[in-house]
Amino acid sequence: MSDAQQPRRQGPWDPPAEYPEYHPGSARPELNRPVHERYPQIRPTSGYGDPRVRHTGPGPGAGTDQEPERSSKLTARLALAMTAVIGQLWGLTVVIDAWMAGNTGTAWWGSGFLCLSFLVVLGLWLLDPKDR
């Protein structure tokens, strides 16, 4: 018997050969069973019917900005800190290039810039301790 003549074996992952035709109020009684009979793993206490569940979501006002002034202040501080960090990375690149080229004077001035930039970021962090 060749492969074309052999019937194909059906595995558990394959869809059934023929789906039953269903319409509401079907003539086939097995298709009209109640949900708890069709899906016995779903119990009345599963999910929304569970009496232990009191709050189903994050609460009223979720997703809205509760304190816009604080949010804008934190955004501004974050932008300043990111600018300082980018400046530090650029300065580190310049300092390393100068040091490798043998310009130690420029490298020391650049190191001073990096220290000053770090102090600026530290000052921004110390500015408002209640936001940490």
What integer pLDDT is reported at residue 95 of this predicted model?
93
Tell me which residue has tokens 């009345």: 44
Pairwise CA distance, residues 48 & 107, whole Å: 66
C-alpha distance from residue 21 to each of 24, 26, 29, 35 (Å) = 10, 9, 12, 18
Tens-digit pLDDT profile for residues 122-132: 887 788 777 66
Are the CB atoms for 38 and 32 separated by under 8 Å?
A: no
What integer pLDDT is reported at residue 76 of this predicted model?
85
Mean pLDDT over 35-49 rounds to 67
Q: What is the mean pLDDT of the chain?
A: 75
